[in-house]
């Protein structure tokens, strides 16, 4: 059930998203517009619950980059190794780009991705076997917090940094 403030009781029959023509309107953006929040800033829920659209739970935040650590890691050979491996088929013509290499060989290379293990904690990423990395993004800058032997240690480091960089807007890991 969606929670709205008494001032916005006329919106209580809305769902989270309403489609009008080709575009969608989100309930929390309508309420933020009524509150007079800046339209060029993002609106976020303080408690992280998208069903709680009360005015006291909405605040504006600057637009931010989503994550600074890739979830997938490319697992292909570097371009130079491909050229060396296939040089006999090129008849002396050396391509300058990977696209030209594919075109000359008429080969379609499929990029294989290997999924990295995902942590259950915010700001914690798998680095290599037995090592977890902690990092935090604040004001579009990614801060490296170090490498740790366990997820829990990295989560504690993230919690300390969240208090420092995010102040009252912090979202801490529950350990």
Domain with CATH 3.30.730.10 in the chain: 116-169
The structure tokens listed for 27 are 């309930």
If one compares 14 and 6, the residue with the highest pLDDT of the two is 6
- CB neighbours of residue 143 within 10 Å: 15
Q: Which residues are CB-neighbours of 167 under 8 A, at least 6 positions away?
A: none
pLDDT digits (tens, 9 = 90+) for 77-102: 455 555 555 555 555 555 556 666 66
- Label the pairing between strands 42-45 and 58-61: antiparallel
The pLDDT mean for the chain works out to 76
Q: Supply the pLDDT for residue 5.
A: 87
Q: What is the mean pLDDT of residues 35-63?
A: 80
The structure tokens listed for 145 are 């917090």
What Å distances lie between residue 44 and 29, 72, 81, CA to CA?
A: 9, 27, 47
Report the top-level CATH class of 116-169. Answer: alpha beta
């Amino acid at each position: 059930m969606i929670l709205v403030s008494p001032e916005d009781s006329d919106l209580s029959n809305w769902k989270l998203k309403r489609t009008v023509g080709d575009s969608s309107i989100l309930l929390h953006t309508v309420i933020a517009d009524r509150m007079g929040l800046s339209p060029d800033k993002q609106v976020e829920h303080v408690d992280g619950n998208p069903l709680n659209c009360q005015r006291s739970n909405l605040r504006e935040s600057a637009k931010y980059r989503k994550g600074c650590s890739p979830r997938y890691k490319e697992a292909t050979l570097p371009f130079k190794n491909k050229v060396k491996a296939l040089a006999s088929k090129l008849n002396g013509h050396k391509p300058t780009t990977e696209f030209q290499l594919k075109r000359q060989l008429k080969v379609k290379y499929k990029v294989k991705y290997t999924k990295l293990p995902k942590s259950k904690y915010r700001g914690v990423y798998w680095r290599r076997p037995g090592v977890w990395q902690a990092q935090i993004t604040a004001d579009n800058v990614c801060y490296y917090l170090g490498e740790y032997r366990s997820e829990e240690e990295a989560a504690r480091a993230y919690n300390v940094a969240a208090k420092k960089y995010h102040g009252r807007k912090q979202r801490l890991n529950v350990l």
